[in-house]
Amino acid sequence: MSDTPMDASKRTWLIASSCAGVVGAGFAAVPFVRSFEPSERAKAAGAPVEVDIGSLKPGEKATVEWRGKPVWILRRTKEQVDELAKLDGQLADPLSKRKPDELTPEYARNEARSIKPEVLVVVGICSHLGCSPTDKLQAGPQPSLPDDWKGGFLCPCHGSTFDLAGRVFKNKPAPDNLEVPPHMYLSDTRLLIGEDKKA
């Protein structure tokens, strides 16, 4: 250590330079540290999606996007729910036993394939080659459908048909039912898609 006293202007210059260096290093570190966080796009791609279904009337369907996939939310009428049990003999996997851990959470392994019988939540992608089926919700004869059609979905690519629980009919190209994504109710009218465990 020198016994020579430091010039006051030199001391001010050293302090100012040091402070500027610390501030500059801080600004340089922020983008570096932020690069470890997932991007907004990545968060949106995997983040749960909250949906208000309070205004969805019986017989109506809403579509939301989750992980880049269309997720259908259908509020079924009482008559539509009652018809589901009558279709078991025509379906390839009526109780969702195929690939249950991959396609159907435990709480949806029932005839309605849902937590609440009146609300269906499924990924709108055919299990055959990934086309998106079209709505054929009205019962009755229609082109490309049987005369005793009870309502459901028709894949326009190869003709696979699904009932109003997303279950595939027998002898169709689609090997499996439509996927039920993880979901849970936050309230009677708020649905969270992409998460089914309360923290």
Catalytic residue among 11, 158, 170, 190: 158
Residue 41: the pLDDT is 55
User: Please, what CATH class does the domain formed by 44-193 belong to?
Assistant: mainly beta
Give yes or no: 158 in active site: yes
Question: Model's pTM, two decimal places?
Answer: 0.74
Name residue, tokens 């190869």.
Answer: 158
Over the stretch 67-113, which tens digit does the pLDDT of each residue have?
Answer: 999 999 999 999 999 999 999 999 999 989 888 888 999 999 998 99
Indicate the domain borders of the chain. Answer: 44-193
150 exposed, middle or buried (CB, 10 Å; 0-12, 13-18, 19+)? buried
Measured distance CA(29)–CA(7) in Å, rounded: 33
| Helix intervals (H) in 40-193 | 40-46, 78-84, 100-103
Residue 38: pLDDT band with limits 50, 70, 90:
very low
Residue 43: the pLDDT is 47
Q: Does 40 score more than 60 pLDDT?
A: no
